[in-house]
Structure 1
Amino acid sequence: VYRHIYASKTKTQVIENFTVASIMEKTSKKLFIFNLCINFGILVTRRCNATTYFVGDTSGWDISSDLESWPLGKRFSVGDVLMFQYSSSHSVYEVAKDNFQSCNTTDPIRTFTNGNTTVALSKPGDRFFVCGNRLHCFAGMRLQVNVQGNGPSPAPVGAPRAAPAGILQPSSKKNNPATGVASSAAHIGGRGLRGSMNYFVYLMVFTFPLILYFINN
């Protein structure tokens, strides 16, 4: 009798332990799926809020563009993208602050020469870009962008050094915005949103089977 009672208690305890383990496993899976959805939503929100800027608007990365005034009125945030479009006579060099002020292109951080360069603004702070042709840099082909983070904006860099004697400065420069569009940011907004939606669809295609697997197991 006692052996039968002990066996029954043991069996009951095993069933209870199995039930508790099953509940904990299901709860753990649900929490995992919940966290996955939260992170997924944050990722999509960041992608949709990102802005792509054409440097110099339709004038592009060119000696005729007023690149000094182009950033004015624009707020560059982490996740935004700069699009440099330029001819084969130009290039894009990302440089340090001191080299930016002196148009020094001998020690660049990164160089681009493909004529259609995309630069992601991945962290807050100042970014500095110049044309690889130093004469073009002195003539105005240089750009400072302040990427906003959570902290206060750093002070802008002082005025660049004067160009050496004999280098001609363009008499007038302008940035030609796209027709009927207020700014380069607005010009790209629709494309950026469509790209984010495509990204959303791709993620759903790959993550939906994974979510179903965890729900059913």
Structure 2
Amino acid sequence: MSARRVLIASADRLFADAVSSLVDGRPGWKAVGAVADGIAAVAEAARLRPDAVLMTTELRRLDAASAARQVRRRLPEATVVIVGGAGPSGGPVMPLGASAEDVFAALAAAPGAVAGGSADAGEGMSLLQKLTTRERRVLRMLAEGRSMKDIARHLDVSEHTIRTHMQNLYAKLGCHSRVDIVNFATRHGVVRLAGDEPSR
């Protein structure tokens, strides 16, 4: 059976990277692309013809509900799932804290889906979604091996502020050290591969 192909649409690059990693790590599934806005989601869905499209509500240029309706008109056979808010009539809508298992179950609504998966992956995605945008950026830069001083300079804040973000990360992710944070980030696809654009 061929892999079930998923297009991801989210303005949150960290979330998109993490979901792509989870999809690619699940037998029978493949992430075929990630876009940051609704117009691109519609265009890429028409070009790539994925089996499923996962969107988050904070899409740029075209809201997720409108993008989902357009995708359905062009690809009626595709499953469209929106995470984090109200979706188009009749479409699966997942809460922001939904586990990976719940999201995969929604994506698998069409025939040919492959069941199975990891509880650890589901927990990791749920934890990532609870982080603020700034905490996610700090997490990524910590995972990239940057020092607190470098992160503070990059984000134009004090080192004290970065320490506060780190304490929040420890609490939210259940980590006890920087090594734990790096291991978490590596397991859940937070660390960028060589050639990816740097954190901003």
State TM-score, norm by structure 2: 0.28
State TM-score, norm by structure 1: 0.27
Q: Which protein has the bigger helix share?
A: 2
